[in-house]
Amino acid sequence: LFHTTTTTTTTTTTTTAAAAATTTATTTATTTATTTTSTAAATTTTTTTTTTTTTTTTTIYFHHRMGRELYLFIAEPL
């Protein structure tokens, strides 16, 4: 009997210049597959679990004089 686990983590961070609005999105997907093989002598069970986590962080920086206008621009679609 043996157990194999594979974990993949991907983190993406986008940064540009001087201080402000940050958006973070995280997606996690887990897949598990189990296979059982029987012979006259023994039974072998193999379980494979794959977990993929993707975190994306986007930060928008702006000059302090543009701050109010940029916040209004970001908030309007909401």
- Domain ranges across the chain: 2-75
Torsion (CA) 14, 15, 20, 25 in degrees, nearest 10: 20
Rounded to an integer, what distance in angstroms lies between the CA atom of residue 32 and that of residue 3? 12
pLDDT in tens, 7-63: 666 655 555 445 556 666 777 777 777 777 777 777 777 777 777 777 777 766 655
Predicted pLDDT at 46: 73
Predicted pLDDT at 63: 56
Predicted pLDDT at 1: 46
Predicted pLDDT at 13: 55
Query: Which of 77, 67, 3 shows the shortest CA–CA distance to 35?
Result: 3
pLDDT in tens, 67-78: 555 555 555 554
Q: Is the dihedral of CA 72, 73, 77, 78 positive or negative?
A: negative
pTM value is 0.33
